[in-house]
Amino acid sequence: MSTLPACPQCQSEFTYEDGGLFVCPECAHEWSSEASTLAEAAVKVYRDSAGNVLQDGDTVTVVKDLKLKGSSGVVKMGTKVKNIRLVDGDHDIDCKIDGFGAMSLKSEFVRKV
Ligand SMILES: [Zn+2]
C-alpha cells in the first residue's frame, strides 16, 4: 500500500486520493498531489545580464544608463549598487543608490561585481 501524505492543514493521516487530488476527511481540505514538486521547481533564479546568479546582499553595477521614471535623473552605466534585495516582479531588484534613494531595477540591466 502506498503511503499518502498527512493533511497539510490539520495533519490528519486519514487522507485519501480522489482523481489526482488528496482529500482530507477531517477538515475537507483538498490539494494536488503534484503541488509539492511544482513548488520546488518554481523557485526563481535571478540572473544578471551576464548570466551570473544573483543573491540578496550582492553588489552589482548598472550596465547601461537607466532613465528614472517620473524624473529627469539618470542612473549612469557603471553605477555601483550595494546590498541588493531580490523581489518577485517586473523590476526584480530592490536597492538603494547613493544620490537617488530607494529604487527598483531589472536584473537584466545589472552585472554582479
Ligand atoms: Zn485536514
Range of the domain at 105: 60-112
Q: What's the 30 CA to ligand 1 centre distance in angstroms?
A: 8
Whichever domain contains 86, its CATH number is 2.30.30.40
Residue 51 domain-assigned (yes or no)? no
Q: How far is CA 31 from the centre of its chain?
A: 23
Cell triple for 42: 518554481
Distance CA 84, CA 40 (A): 24
Q: What's the 23 CA to ligand 1 centre distance in angstroms?
A: 8
Residue with cell 476527511: 25
Whichever domain contains 10, its CATH number is 2.20.25.10
pTM for the full predicted model: 0.61
Q: What is the residue-level pLDDT of the chain in tens, covering all 113 positions? A: 557 889 999 999 999 998 889 999 999 999 987 655 555 556 789 999 999 999 999 999 999 999 887 778 899 999 999 999 999 988 999 999 988 899 999 999 999 99
**What is the domain count for the chain?**
2
Distance CA 91, CA 104 (A): 6
Residue 3 domain-assigned (yes or no)? yes
Q: What are phi and psi of 35, to 5 degrees?
A: -60, -40
64 and 39, same structural domain? no
72 and 108, same structural domain? yes
